[in-house]
């Protein structure tokens, strides 16, 4: 067994962009019956679909057979923003670090042109000779930058120049994408209000952990994760990777208390959900 084959299954497998709900929705012949709910009941073709799936470290194992709940809402009234954040940090490389970064490419070129390691003394490659001179200058600048404050300041004033801090923009990583969506619901009937209440309860069941054993409370199983889709917009909007629900807020009186005459059901309900994807995006995803 090669090292590559031995390590090919280590770690978490890539999730990839969820471009189509077909790879996670359980069809009529699926092994597991999924509780699929839409609100309002007469929801049109433009929908926001949430497929809650059982958490798995390897996301490909949490396929359609592990879909726990399917919820379809209208397209959100706010939050349809695809924010791409990459982390950079400006750092002082210092004299030595800056010199290494600047000379590394020149050393590579010199090696490639000569076909041999650079030689010293007579007949030295001019490019290599220049590298040696630059290294000596860098060493002098490094010694100067190491002088105590008073001595270094005095030398700076006397020479009329200062040591370049070699500021560079360093790439650090990619932030996980986050999304926050808001919906406003106004149930027309008591039946609609009861249906919306059921959906809210079912979502809460999926986003909270649960005890792994009825005998003790030592361990909590991870909450379900969710695959998100815009339906009815073809290929014109952005895609999602598998995400977790970070926040689920239900406001039963967004414009002050308003209740239906039947059993006091709220007349308007605002729902806000925040999601965070569980894998970064890379160039290959596009």
Instruction: Compute the residue count for the chain.
Output: 286
H or E segment to which residue 47 belongs: strand 47-53
Residue 27 has a pLDDT of 41
pLDDT digits (tens, 9 = 90+) for 179-238: 999 999 999 999 999 999 999 999 999 999 999 887 788 899 999 999 999 998 888 999
CA distance 131 to 41: 74
Residue 216 has a pLDDT of 81
From first to last of its 286 residues, what are the pLDDT tens digits of the chain?
555 555 555 556 677 787 666 655 544 334 455 667 999 999 988 999 999 998 887 766 655 557 889 999 999 999 999 999 999 887 765 655 555 555 555 656 665 665 555 555 555 556 556 655 665 556 555 555 665 666 666 656 666 666 666 777 788 899 999 999 999 999 999 999 999 999 999 999 999 999 988 778 889 999 999 999 999 888 899 999 999 999 999 999 999 888 887 678 999 999 999 999 999 999 998 8
How far, in whole angstroms, is CA 95 from its chain's centroid? 35
Query: pTM higher than 0.85 for the full model?
Result: no
CA distance 95 to 97: 6
Residue 169 has a pLDDT of 72
């Amino acid at each position: 067994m090669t090292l590559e084959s031995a390590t090919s299954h280590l770690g978490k497998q890539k999730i990839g962009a969820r471009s189509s709900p077909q790879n996670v929705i359980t069809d009529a012949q699926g092994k597991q019956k999924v509780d699929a709910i839409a609100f309002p009941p007469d929801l049109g073709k433009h929908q926001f679909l949430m497929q809650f799936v059982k958490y798995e470290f390897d996301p490909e194992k949490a396929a359609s057979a592990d879909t726990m709940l399917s919820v379809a809402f209208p397209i959100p009234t706010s939050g349809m923003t695809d924010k791409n954040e990459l982390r950079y940090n400006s750092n002082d490389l210092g004299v030595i670090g800056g010199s290494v970064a600047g000379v590394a490419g020149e050393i590579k070129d010199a090696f490639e042109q000569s076909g041999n390691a650079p030689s010293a003394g007579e007949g030295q490659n001019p490019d290599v000779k220049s590298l040696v001179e630059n290294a000596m200058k860098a060493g002098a600048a490094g010694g100067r930058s190491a002088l105590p404050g008073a001595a270094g300041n005095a030398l700076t004033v006397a020479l009329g120049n200062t040591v370049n801090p070699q500021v560079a923009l360093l790439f650090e990583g990619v932030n996980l994408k986050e999304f926050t969506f808001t919906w406003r619901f106004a149930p027309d009937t008591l039946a609609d209000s009861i249906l919306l209440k059921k959906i809210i309860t079912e979502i809460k069941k999926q986003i909270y952990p649960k005890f792994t054993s009825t005998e003790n409370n030592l361990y909590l199983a991870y909450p379900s994760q969710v695959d998100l889709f815009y339906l009815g917009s073809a290929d014109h909007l952005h895609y999602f990777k598998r995400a977790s629900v970070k926040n689920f807020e239900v406001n039963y009186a967004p414009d002050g208390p308003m209740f239906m005459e039947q059993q006091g059901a709220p007349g308007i309900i605002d729902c806000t959900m925040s999601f965070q994807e569980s894998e970064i995006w890379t160039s290959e995803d596009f």
